[in-house]
Amino acid sequence: MPAFDVVGIGENSVDAIYRVPAAVAPNTKIPVVGRRVMLGGQVETTLATCASLGLRVAYVGAFGNDSAGATLRDALEHRGVDTSHCVVRDVRSRNAVILVNDTNGDRTVLWERDPQLDLRGDEIPAAAISSARVLHVDDVDRAATLSAAGIAHASGVPVTSDFDQLTEHTVDLLSAVSVPILAEPMPAALTGEADPERALRTLRRSHQDMLCVTLGTRGAMMLAGDRSYTAPAFNVTVVDTTGAGDVFRGAFIVAMLRGDRPDQILRFANAAAAIACTREGALDSVPTLDEVHALM
């Protein structure tokens, strides 16, 4: 039996969340209607979701040696995420300021991350990755992502992804992923195709049987084999969309490892993401399995 179902490599973050009464426009002054400091990070939130929904999970990343780094690590361990393969750097932890529109939950993220938080190749736990059922990566640390994906491919371990912005390295990173789970703007940005299905078909590589894109209030779409699937979003009162995509990815991985049909995977992941939208923050928005089933 593998030591872990999922091993994740990527960022962790302390988020200062400011709720503002309207969208942020240039050259304006906007009052703050609420402020909270919460914990997040895209891979970290995905792994916490996997753990909450019943999987054995390990996180591989670098924490700062400040109090925020210790808090982040404790929060993951409390949520059932193994951090024994993590490292600590003599720098400040990654942090973000998140502006949340109080009227609709949309958010703008301003982030800061010291380059010393990048992982080195010799810090990638090859044995843990090669014995896992899934490797989940983001696009924050290119060298670590490519190294880990190479280990996974050599061991027949599928690689899922969290890519939410277009960079000069995105195409190379995407080629190393076997099950891409992309944020809404990514397929069009990568292909120039406005239609999500055509964009996914254009992006597909020979080793990719499933490709997925989250579509916000329109739900999600997946290309599985030669067939496309769509699932609508659940109707909930949105408080904060921070972390919803990360929760979607965690629930997607859980349903995929269960062997669910593509339409069932999307519906399950949409339900988990919908619950996340009803709560503030990233880690604190992670649902339980009972909550997901109740909404479905």
Instruction: Convert the pLDDT of each residue in 249-295 to its tens digit.
Output: 999 999 999 999 999 999 999 999 999 999 988 888 999 999 999 99
Q: What pLDDT score was predicted for residue 48? A: 96
Give the fold, CATH level 3, of 6-11+42-90+118-295: UDP-N-acetylmuramoyl-L-alanine:D-glutamate ligase (3.40.1190)
Q: Which residues contact 36 (CB under 8 A, 6 or more apart)?
A: 16, 17, 280, 281
Alpha carbons 93 and 210: distance in angstroms, whole number = 34
User: Nearest CA to 199 among 208, 210, 191, 207?
Assistant: 191
Considering the entire predicted model, what is its pTM?
Answer: 0.90
| One-letter amino acid for residue 27 of the chain | N
| The pairing of beta strand 220-224 with beta strand 210-214 | antiparallel
What digits encode the pLDDT tens for the residues 201-254?
A: 999 988 889 999 999 899 999 999 999 999 999 999 988 888 899 999 999 999
CA of 286: how far to CAs of 47, 79, 110, 211, in Å? 10, 10, 22, 23
Alpha carbons 223 and 233: distance in angstroms, whole number = 17
Q: How many Cα atoms are found within 13 Å in the side-chain-facing hemisphere of 279?
A: 17
